[in-house]
Structure 1
Amino acid sequence: MMGLFVSTSMRVSLNMAVVCMVNSTAFDSGYNNGTKAIDIFTNKEEKCPKISVEEEKSKGYHGTFLWSSADQSLLLSATFYGGLVSVSFAGLLADRFGPKLVLFLGIFDGLVVTLLTPLLANFNFHGLLAARFLMGIGEGFVFPSVTSMIARWIPKNEKSTSAAISTSGNQIASIFGLWFSAILCGSELLGGWPLIFYFFAFLTFIWCFFWFYFVTNSPEGNHHISKEESAYLEEQLQSQSIVHKAGSNKLYSSSIPWFKMLTSVPVIVNFLAQLVYTFSLGLLQTYLPLFMKQILRVELSKNGFYAMLPFLTQLVTKNIFAILSDYIKRKGYVSNTVGCKIFQLIGNIGSALCYLVLAFFVDCTSLSITIITLLVYGALFSAGVCGFFTSQLSVAPQFTGVLFSIARLASIAGGATAINIVGYINKHGTLEEWRTIWLFAAAVNVIVGIIYTLFSSAEIQPWAKQPEKEEISSSENTTLENLD
């Protein structure tokens, strides 16, 4: 969980920093604030003209960087493009050689880039862009390594709960990162915004120390748990077609059935669900502070607080949903597959409804409606962890790292698509432009929700099962399975 926290914090810290670094009015001096198309639905555009230079400064935004909307989109999406370099082999390395070192190196890469960001931002835009690309390469190792580590430790009936707890680092990073970054932005020390990067680099350094000291690739090699607990975990994990070879860190000994894996309907459906999930997550993580500034006219001192609210409810409800999901499956009320379908549908359709509210009922005069909608959105969106995410952990346990490398490709595509779509549509920060963005997000969630309900599965696939005659052995330095 803390690994995802520091990794996500270093990435999303730029999302809030950009809001207070950039002079967003510099490129729009000749733009006409009126937008007649809005009158089809409401007359609110006249009450909410585009934010002026004077109003922006009065609310605490004193940015000096002259980065266009296209520049910002390119910078914010650079980590996703960097991830394309490592996505094809990150999970394979974690499964074959153990996730401890792979995860450490991926996060240490982000630490170095984060620490150098203030210098690079003042020195050269393209230098910063290249650094963020390199940061993305390292981040590409994080998620597959985390899933590989968890799969080596977590029994089958605890996967939803474990997935929710481990991935809570993403929500904690968004909650704390957005809120505290806004506070640091308003500081006069070192110019305010550089403190964001120094602070999160420091937290990451502390994590690196504890990770190296306390963590092992498997229960057998860990001296911080009892022998009884280690034996229990080994017994539970061996029942999930996880093969251990003595003296090796490999999660499996058989070859990877690439063709069957890549043509598997559950894998393809999970890929689509992951893509839309990350699109929605990237949309709010990256651009909610900007939406707060452009449409709701929120002061800088309050921007981070309001922007973190959907992630706060998501953090709470995802763990409640996970416990509920594991409980009803353990009691036999629903099968693994039906449980995943139910929660995935809640996540997709619930998110779509909230996007429609943001599209048609929100402007600069309706902050309270926006806050309520975002709180509800976070609660419903979180159900996806018990949907596609749990399915990804279940369909091929011993190939979890490989599957999550494939899923990482969907994550990269989803996050980059969200940033590029907003960058393409949101040229002037108008209500009409944001309405188009929310409607697109609602449409893709509905489509994927329907597809997932029809074609998904959460059962171990035939191609992922080990031959009965293959021996399962263990050793002190071997690994078990992995999870996210």
Structure 2
Amino acid sequence: MIIGSYFWCYPVTSLIGGMAAERWGPRYVVLITSLVSGVLTVLTPAAARLHYIAIVVVRFTLGIAGGFIYPALHALIARWSPPTEKGKFVSAMMGGTMGTVMTWSVTGPLVEKFGWASAFYVPGVLTLVWCAVWWYIVADSPAEHPRISDKERKYIQDALGDKVKKSKGLPPFKSILTSLPFLAMIILHYGNLWGLYFIMTVGPKFVSSVLGFQLSAAGVISALPYLARLFLSVIFGVLGDCIMARNLMTTTQIRKFFCLFSHIIPGVFLILLVYAGCSTALSVALITLSMGANGAATLTNLQNHQDLAPNYAGSLYGIANAIGSTAGFFTPMITAYFTRSGNGFEQWRPVFFIGASVYIVAAIFFIFFGTGETQDWNFPKDDEESEKSKKTDLKDAKDTPLSVISSK
């Protein structure tokens, strides 16, 4: 109950996190939710001494705050990253993976030397220090940043053009929800999260139950898949930016081509894992390669919402993430269903086939129906009306005799 309480409200706040960032600014949304998270983490030992229900309340509130973070960061990226550098910006969000690995590495020694409560105090205090750095360094947009050069500000603003504005209104939900490219992006994102949850939950269980090797017990080995994804996501991000800068592919072609690496190849590795036999080394290698190849998601589902509607990138990611997070409920249930009569290769084979199929089918659907083009509904209605007004004025000016214009 304590562990699961974090996720009770996480999908809901993930859904609204992007809209909050677009309305009030991602800088404030990330700052406030991170402050809340840091304070609650520091208070966790006190809650534990009070009652286990107190920990449930703390964890539940942490989940509420945590749901805002990633949609708000995507809204921030949309306002700061030039199209030819977006891959590096998105891959930098894999810092969350680095945080996970570092926390695993640090908390063990902390508990042994200073007691279990220090595993909450140290990360909590570090979060509060980070909030101060965030407040000083970050601004909602280049136009609002007091310390960047005029050259850098002009470069970013010229690169973004008129695609991103400081939106105050609600997203055009009717247009978004009836958009086939947006549906394709959601399916691609769902396939990605299905694969990630599959590796995180089912992969270690398979290695421990079938191969008799406790993957999570070996700290370095358990971190390998995450480190591989972190490292390769940066490589893929830089590669995508180079391709974009040299106009070797269109945005749509990049998104569809790299689905081969982010979804199809990881799916193939999951199938091969079933036939790895009792080779622990080969099984760990296949899990690591599957997660590593998925680092290309920085060029596919983790970036496509930025293409479709930079004005509402946070909202689009929030919707996709809220739907995609349900994969965390289904993968353990499917695993339990097929392995209820045993833990042999025959029982596990359909589990891996399903995981691989979701990966691959999602990619195929996106390849047919996805796009990297900015959609018409990215631009608020008042902007459209203003543009129409300008065109009407221009037409009237052309139709008006020169003598009348001169007299006016």
Question: In the TM superposition, what is the alpha-carbon distance from 1:423 to its structure 2 partner?
Answer: 6.5
Percent of aligned pairs sharing the same letter: 25
Verify the 8 A CA contact 2:215 2:222 in the aligned structure 1: no
Question: In the TM superposition, what is the alpha-carbon distance from 1:177 to its structure 2 partner?
Answer: 3.1
Relative to structure 1, the CA distance from residue 350 to residue 104 in structure 2 (aligned partners, 3 Å threshold; closer, same or farther) is: same
Verify the 8 A CA contact 1:102 1:145 in the aligned structure 2: yes
Farther off after superposition, 276-285 or 386-395: 276-285
Question: In the TM superposition, what is the alpha-carbon distance from 1:322 to its structure 2 partner?
Answer: 1.6
- Given the two structures, how large is their TM-score scaled by the length of structure 1? 0.71
In structure 2, what is the Cα distance between the partners aligned to 1:189 and 1:289?
30
1:69-218 to structure 2, matched below 5 A, reads 75-118=2-45, 120=47, 124-165=51-92, 167-181=93-107, 187=112, 189-190=114-115, 194-218=117-141
Farther off after superposition, 401-410 or 279-288: 279-288
- Who is 2:285 aligned against? 372
Residue 467 of structure 1 is aligned with which of 380, 384, 389?
384
Q: Does residue 284 of the first structure (1) align with residue 199 of the second (2)?
A: yes
Higher Rg of the two aligned structures? 2
- Who is 1:356 aligned against? 271
Unpaired segments of 5 or more residues in structure 2?
389-408
Verify the 8 A CA contact 2:228 2:291 in the aligned structure 1: yes
Question: In the TM superposition, what is the alpha-carbon distance from 1:400 to its structure 2 partner?
Answer: 1.2
1:229-308 to structure 2, matched below 5 A, reads 229-237=152-160, 239-243=161-165, 251-252=166-167, 256-285=171-200, 294-295=209-210, 297-298=212-213, 303-308=218-223
* Structure with more of its chain in helix, by fraction: 2
The one-letter amino acid of 2:37's match is G
Relative to structure 1, the CA distance from residue 227 to residue 330 in structure 2 (aligned partners, 3 Å threshold; closer, same or farther) is: closer
Farther off after superposition, 226-235 or 454-463: 226-235
- Given the two structures, how large is their TM-score scaled by the length of structure 2? 0.83
Relative to structure 1, the CA distance from residue 418 to residue 79 in structure 2 (aligned partners, 3 Å threshold; closer, same or farther) is: farther
Verify the 8 A CA contact 1:314 1:381 in the aligned structure 2: yes
RMSD: 3.0
- Who is 2:372 aligned against? 458
Question: In the TM superposition, what is the alpha-carbon distance from 1:444 to its structure 2 partner?
Answer: 1.1
1:35-54 to structure 2, matched below 5 A, reads none
1:2-41 to structure 2, matched below 5 A, reads none
Question: In the TM superposition, what is the alpha-carbon distance from 1:314 to its structure 2 partner?
Answer: 1.2
In structure 1, what is the Cα distance between the partners aligned to 2:152 and 2:377?
30
Question: In the TM superposition, what is the alpha-carbon distance from 1:109 to its structure 2 partner?
Answer: 2.8
Question: In the TM superposition, what is the alpha-carbon distance from 1:233 to its structure 2 partner?
Answer: 1.8
Verify the 8 A CA contact 1:278 1:414 in the aligned structure 2: yes
**Count of residue correspondences:** 384
Residue 312 of structure 1 is aligned with which of 220, 227, 231?
227
Which structure exhibits the higher relative contact order, with contacts defined as CA atoms closer than 8 Å and separated by 6 or more residues?
1
- Who is 1:387 aligned against? 300
Relative to structure 1, the CA distance from residue 120 to residue 272 in structure 2 (aligned partners, 3 Å threshold; closer, same or farther) is: farther
The one-letter amino acid of 2:85's match is E
Verify the 8 A CA contact 2:309 2:374 in the aligned structure 1: yes
In structure 2, what is the Cα distance between the partners aligned to 1:224 and 1:431?
60
Residue 219 of structure 1 is aligned with which of 142, 145, 150?
142
Verify the 8 A CA contact 1:143 1:408 in the aligned structure 2: no
In structure 1, what is the Cα distance between the partners aligned to 2:80 and 2:114?
44
Unpaired segments of 5 or more residues in structure 1?
1-70, 244-250, 472-484
Verify the 8 A CA contact 1:311 1:378 in the aligned structure 2: yes
Question: In the TM superposition, what is the alpha-carbon distance from 1:121 to its structure 2 partner?
Answer: 5.4
Verify the 8 A CA contact 2:23 2:168 in the aligned structure 1: no
Question: In the TM superposition, what is the alpha-carbon distance from 1:83 to its structure 2 partner?
Answer: 1.6
